[in-house]
Amino acid sequence: MVRILIIEDEEDFRDILRQTLEPAGYRLLFAESGPKGLESLSKNQADLVVLDVNLPGKNGYEVCRAIRANPEWSNLPVLMLTIRNRDAEIVRGLDAGADDYLTKPFDPEEILARLRKLLVHEK
C-alpha cells in the first residue's frame, strides 16, 4: 500500500486530504509542522510527501531542501501545496526541489491524477 506523508498545519486541509486520498486507497501519515514532518519521515517509510508552504517551525521550502539534502530521500516525490498560483512561490517551490505543485483550493480529481503521475515516475 502506498504511504503518503502529509505535512500540513491546517486541520481543515488535513481533513480534506484525508477524505480525498483515503478512499483512493492511500495510507496517510500526518504531521503538523516542518520539523515534525522530517521526524516522521525518518521514522516511517513514505512513498510520497504532500507539503504545505506555510508551516510553523520550518517552512515548506526549508523542509523540501532538507529532504533533498538527505541522499536517502533524494528521489522521494514531493508535491507542494501553495495557497495560490503566485508564480514566485511556485518557482521557489520547484527550486527547493519539489516535483510538482498544486494550489489551494484544489480539485480532488486533480490531486489524485497528479499523485498517480508522481508515483508512476518514481517507479
Partner 1 sequence: MKLQDNLALLPTAAVAVVLEFGALASYASFHEANGFLRLRGDLFLLAAQGYVIVACILVYFWGVYWTEPFGDIFEGIAAFGRGNFAHRIRRSKVRELDELAGHLNQMSDRLREVDQLKSDLISNVSHELRSPLAAMEGYIALLLRQAPDPSQTRENLLKIGGNITRLRRLVENLLDLSKIESQGTSLHLERVKALDIVHETCFLFETALKNKNLSLTIDCPEGIPDTKADPAKLRQIMTNLLDNAIKYNRLSGFVKISAFSGRAEPRIVTLSIQDSGCGILPEHMPHLFERFRRLPGSANAPEVKGTGLGLAISLELARSMGGDIQVESRPENGSVFSLILPAWEGD
* Residues in touch with partner 1 (CB under 8 A): 10, 12-13, 16, 19-20, 83-84, 86-88, 104-108
- The residue (of 2 and 16) whose beta carbon lies closer to partner 1 is 16
- The residue (of 42 and 85) whose beta carbon lies closer to partner 1 is 85
Q: Are 25 and 33 in contact (CB under 8 A)?
A: no
> The C-alpha cell of 56 is what?
510553523
Kindly state the smallest distance separating residue 96's Cβ from partner 1, in Å: 18
- Residues 53 and 59: their CA atoms lie apart, in Å, by 6
Kindly state the smallest distance separating residue 119's Cβ from partner 1, in Å: 21
Following DSSP, what letter does each residue of 18-38 receive, concatenated?
Answer: HHHHGGGT-EEEEESSHHHHH
Kindly state the smallest distance separating residue 31's Cβ from partner 1, in Å: 18
